[in-house]
Chains A and B, each alone.
Chain A
Amino acid sequence: DAKTTQPTSMDCAEGRAANLPCNHSTISGNEYVYWYRQIHSQGPQYIIHGLKNNETNEMASLIITEDRKSSTLILPHATLRDTAVYYCIVRVARNNSNSGYALNFGKGTSLLVTP
């Protein structure tokens, strides 16, 4: 299973871009990179995922390096409500790809957005 490495914590000023890095140097060719976040006392929330191309949605952008060994989640204009723990996850196949999979959550990055 590909493992991920993230910084334990980061700070970001409100209104600035928050760039959250993730290393996944053992990722295999058919594994996706997922990002989730967990706001205090809530369940995790899906943000975005990608395979090798950069992705963007209404919440964030995901930049994956060409060798796929690392990625960066970008929150373009961070707000106080973006304060949360952010998890970078590589998909793990628990059974086979047609029947199911499970997400292995690590410790994540605790992002604090300050006024």
Chain B
Amino acid sequence: DVKVTQSSRYLVKRTGEKVFLECVQDMDHENMFWYRQDPGLGLRLIYFSYDVKMKEKGDIPEGYSVSREKKERFSLILESASTNQTSMYLCASSYRGGRTEAFFGQGTRLTVV
């Protein structure tokens, strides 16, 4: 089975902390994605990566950065966490090209206090 694993299910951080959300996939997928999901707003794309060290901004990249040093791992970084970044964060991966499905992790519910 395809597995996309997010390092934490629940996370509580303080305002101003640097936060790392880690995602690992075991299917040798080229593409990896970070979304956030908020009530009433649906899933919104933060960043995606189509190859090692390659990244592209999504719809809401402000306040976030990403790192992809290895093919299987895609990290989302909150440089200085703020309360408006409290959300559910979802990682996904897929093969290159537009005709394949994306596989999602279980999500990380981040609370910034």
Chain A interfacial positions (CB closer than 8 Å to B): 32, 34, 41-46, 49, 91, 93-95, 97-108
Contact = CB atoms under 8 A, between A and B. Distances in A.
24 contacts: A32-B98, A42-B106, A43-B92, A44-B43, A44-B90, A44-B104, A46-B101, A49-B99, A93-B98, A94-B48, A94-B56, A97-B98, A99-B51, A99-B96, A100-B31, A100-B48, A100-B56, A100-B96, A101-B31, A101-B94, A102-B33, A102-B45, A103-B45, A103-B102
Contacts of B58: 102
Classify the interface of chain B: helix, strand, loop or mixed: strand
Interface residues of B, number: 29
B17 to A, nearest CB: 25
A36 B63 CA distance: 28
B50 interface: yes
Given A32-B99, A43-B92, A46-B103, 18 more contacts: A42-B106, A42-B107, A43-B104, A43-B105, A44-B43, A46-B102, A99-B51, A100-B30, A100-B31, A100-B56, A100-B96, A101-B94, A101-B97, A102-B45, A102-B58, A103-B45, A105-B42, A106-B42
A108 to B, nearest CB: 7
B58 to A, nearest CB: 7
Interface in B5-45: 30-31, 33, 35, 42-45
Interface in B61-94: 90, 92, 94
Given A34-B101, A93-B98, A43 B106 contact: yes
